């Protein structure tokens, strides 16, 4: 940690509601009195707003804490600034939250610490719990698989606790039918390969290099073996998720504001230590990130434990049905623009838009967000002059 605190400029830390950033703050505050910490919450979306947990950590470690509670209108106000800075499409919607967080943090610090990397090293994602339980088998896993017709029929959404639970159970049941490599690929994505491919029109499908895609996929999945060690699953995350999503997202969004973000969990000594540990030190039937949680159980506020993992998400569904509706229906995903552009299947995109406003949206908002980001990027950098009317 001390290596990550060397700076001749103001130092701060991102502080979310989770264990990882709280651990970073707990350790950094030992060496930096009145550490600057910053949190972002959502005023219009209580389900996603958990800043009260961050406040508990800030109070315990006496940090100089600032909370920014954003409305959906404020999110929209920053959207186009964020997209204008994105020189390559980034489909992770939390990029917007990181953009705003970095902008606000830069007012207090030039260097910020982040808790990124802990989930990939120590098994902190829900997909890790799903993989662990599939490997363990047993009656409960078999029951979830047998009830897959029910999960398919029930409404699913990330916007509510019940809907999100059903979504997870359906994905778990789907994963039980797959081998290790296919399951990892499915758990790491928000849509299946066939669904993603169906969004392209026939010309785009013919032009896309299936060989290049399969070669890249094979490279990423090379560490996974059927019945192999659980650490292989985590190492695949280190090679896929960190460089292609988490670290790229944070680097792009923070440097947009001249903020340097450091990731103590990815210090080489921590990484080497993490992969020297057997999987049972990291995850079991009850706990993810076991060694991290146990090591700091007497240090962090007890309220942080035994609570669902949310991740650093943006409340997309409500936002798309309201503030972003015009952008979706009458601009970037408008039928005439899609036809003029000539990349996507207009009918398939229309089905996504219909599902967005249905009673069973599932993960469709994540797919639409990816399309919106790509469309904005394409029109700005590739299709200059294309109509949006």
Element (H, E) at 318: helix 316-321
Contact predicate 50/41, CB 8 Å? yes
- pLDDT higher than 80, residue 313: no
Over 90: is that where the pLDDT of 64 sits?
yes
Residue 152 bridge partners (DSSP): none
| 342-368: average pLDDT | 92
Residues 71-96: tens digit of each pLDDT: 878 888 999 999 998 888 988 998 99
Residue-wise pLDDT for 318-345, tens only, equals: 889 988 999 999 999 999 999 999 999 9
Task: Locate the domains of the chain by residue range.
Answer: 2-121+237-304, 125-230, 316-381
The backbone torsions φ and ψ at residue 156, rounded to the nearest 5 degrees and listed phi first, read -130, 140
What is the pLDDT at residue 389? Answer: 47
Mean pLDDT, to the nearest integer, of 270-289? 94
Structure tokens at 217: 């996929």
Strand partners for 70: 42
Rounded CA-CA distance 323/309 in Å is: 27
- Are 261 and 250 in contact, with CB atoms under 8 Å apart? yes
| CA distance to 18, 19, 331, 346, 378, per residue, from 335 (Å) | 41, 44, 9, 6, 16
Question: Euclidean distance between the first and final Cα of the chain, in Å?
Answer: 53
Q: Assign 195 to helix, strand or coil.
A: helix
CATH number of 2-121+237-304: 3.40.50.620
* Per-residue pLDDT at 139: 92
pLDDT at 387 over 70: no
- For residue 117, pLDDT over 80 is answered with yes
Mean of pLDDT values over 1-23: 88
**pTM to 2 decimal places:** 0.89
- Residue 72 has a pLDDT of 78
Q: How far apart are CA 317 and CA 325, in angstroms?
A: 10
Contact (CB, 8 A) for 366 and 95: no
pLDDT tens track for 149-202: 998 888 877 767 788 888 889 989 999 999 999 999 999 988 888 888 899 999
pLDDT value, residue 58:
94
Over the stretch 259-273, which tens digit does the pLDDT of each residue have?
Answer: 999 999 999 999 999
CA dihedral 83, 84, 88, 89 (to 10 degrees): 20
Per-residue buried b or exposed e for 227-248, using 16+ beta carbons within 10 Å of the residue's own CB? eeebbbbbbbbbebbbeebbbe
The secondary structure of residue 329, as a DSSP letter, is I
pLDDT score, position 74: 83
pLDDT(296) > 90 = yes
Beta carbons within 10 angstroms of residue 155's beta carbon: 14
**H runs (alpha helix) in 106-179:** 118-122, 126-136, 139-146, 148-153, 161-175
Residue 308 has pLDDT above 70, yes or no: no
């Amino acid at each position: 940690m001390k290596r990550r605190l060397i700076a001749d400029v103001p130092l701060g830390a991102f502080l979310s509601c989770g264990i990882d950033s709280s651990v970073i703050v707990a350790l950094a505050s030992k060496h930096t009195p009145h550490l600057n910490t910053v949190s972002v919450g959502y005023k219009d979306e209580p389900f996603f707003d958990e800043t009260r947990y961050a406040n508990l950590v800030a109070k315990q470690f006496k940090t100089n804490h600032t909370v920014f509670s954003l409305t959906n209108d404020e999110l929209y106000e920053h959207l186009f600034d964020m997209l204008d800075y994105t020189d390559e499409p980034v489909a992770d919607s939390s990029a917007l939250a990181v953009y705003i967080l970095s902008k606000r943090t830069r007012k207090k610090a030039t260097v910020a610490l982040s808790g990124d990397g802990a989930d990939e090293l120590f098994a902190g994602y829900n997909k890790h719990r799903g993989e662990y339980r599939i490997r363990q088998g047993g009656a409960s896993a078999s029951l979830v698989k047998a009830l897959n017709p029910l999960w398919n029929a029930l409404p699913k959404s990330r916007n509510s606790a019940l809907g999100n639970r059903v979504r997870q159970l359906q994905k778990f049941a789907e994963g039980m039918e797959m081998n290790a490599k296919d399951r990892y690929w499915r758990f790491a994505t928000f849509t299946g390969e066939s669904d993603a491919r169906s969004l392209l029109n026939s010309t785009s499908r013919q032009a896309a290099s299936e060989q290049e895609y399969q070669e890249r996929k094979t490279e990423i999945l090379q560490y996974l073996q059927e019945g192999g060690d659980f650490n292989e699953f985590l190492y695949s995350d280190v090679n896929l998720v960190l460089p292609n999503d988490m670290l790229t997202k944070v680097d792009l969004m923070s440097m947009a504001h001249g903020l340097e973000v450091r990731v103590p969990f990815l210090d080489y000594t921590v990484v080497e230590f993490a992969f020297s540990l057997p999987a049972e030190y990291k995850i079991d039937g009850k706990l993810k990130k076991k060694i991290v949680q146990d090591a700091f159980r007497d240090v962090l506020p007890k309220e942080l434990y035994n609570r669902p993992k949310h991740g650093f998400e943006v409340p997309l569904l409500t936002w798309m049905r309201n503030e972003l509706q015009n952008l979706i229906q009458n601009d970037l995903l408008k039928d005439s623009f899609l036809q003029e552009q000539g990349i996507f299947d207009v009918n398939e995109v229309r089905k996504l838009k219909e599902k967005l406003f249905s009673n069973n949206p599932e993960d469709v908002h994540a797919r639409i967000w990816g399309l919106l980001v790509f469309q904005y990027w394409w029109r700005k950098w590739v299709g200059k002059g294309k109509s949006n009317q």
